[in-house]
Amino acid sequence: MPLFPSIVQNGFVVDDLDAALRHWIGDLGIGPFFLADHVEVARYVWQGVESSIDLTLAFAFAGDVQIELIYQHDEAPSSFRHHLATKGPGFHHVCHRTMEFDKVYQAALARGLKIDSEGEILGGARFCYFDSGKIGLPLMEIVSLSERGIAMHARIHEASVDWNGTDPVRSLKLSSD
């Protein structure tokens, strides 16, 4: 049985969010993007060390696969800063959503995957990025969404179906409210 039976998201670390949005929307016709500016990260640990990070996230769908653009505003240590420093902007992770977060988390560790980083978005999702240690492979993320988070992802997907190019960047609030 696969550890990550479904990949629902491809995540990209960007160093210029506006340019990335122009590319995905203008060049590729993917959208609309929902922009969560300065996301409230309740807890974040990178390579075993707590860090406070300031992120803006943008989400859209290409068919049934969600595209996530990750922009870090500050220089705090993180998987995203490390990626930019060692690989430059680009493909960072694939994501599997699960309702059995703890079970998949333990199974990943049992299979020898190492934790790159983990945390929680305030009021939204627990997440963990695993590193297989294999050169050239992306990180594997698992995320457990609240009912509100599942509904939010459904709304973003629905907006992409037959999108006509209008209102290409929309606001999204990820918080405890």
Identify whether 171 is part of a domain: no
Identify whether 127 is part of a domain: yes
Phi, psi of 87, deg, nearest 5: -125, -15
pLDDT for res 177:
45
pLDDT for res 3:
84
| Nearest residue to 91 (alpha-carbon basis) of 14, 169, 21 | 14
pLDDT for res 2:
83
DSSP 153: H
pLDDT for res 175:
55
- Gyration radius from the chain CA atoms: 16
In total, the chain counts a number of residues equal to 177
**Which residue, chain included where needed, has tokens 């959208």?**
31
Structural domain for 56, as ranges: 9-164
Side-chain-side CA neighbours of 50 within 13 Å: the count stands at 4
Residue 102's CB is within 10 A of a number of other CB atoms, namely 11
CATH number assigned to the domain comprising residue 19: 3.10.180.10
Tally the domains of the chain.
Answer: 1
For the whole model, what pTM was predicted?
0.94
Identify whether 174 is part of a domain: no
Judging by beta carbons within 10 Å of its beta carbon (0-12, 13-18, 19+), is residue 120 exposed, middle or buried? middle
Identify whether 75 is part of a domain: yes
pLDDT for res 174:
72
Residue type, 111: R
CB 61 within 8 A of CB 79: no
pLDDT (tens place) for every residue of the chain, 177 residues total: 788 889 999 999 999 999 999 999 999 999 999 999 999 888 999 999 999 999 999 999 999 999 999 999 999 999 999 999 999 999 999 999 998 999 999 999 999 999 999 999 876 689 999 998 887 789 999 999 778 778 888 999 999 999 999 999 999 987 544
* CA 134/CA 78 separation, integer angstroms: 20
Identify whether 169 is part of a domain: no
Identify whether 115 is part of a domain: yes
Identify whether 93 is part of a domain: yes
* CA 152/CA 3 separation, integer angstroms: 25
Distances (CA, A) of 14 to 48, 71, 133, 142: 24, 5, 22, 20
| Nearest residue to 108 (alpha-carbon basis) of 142, 79, 78, 145 | 142
C-alpha 133: how far from chain center = 20
Identify whether 172 is part of a domain: no
pLDDT for res 135:
76
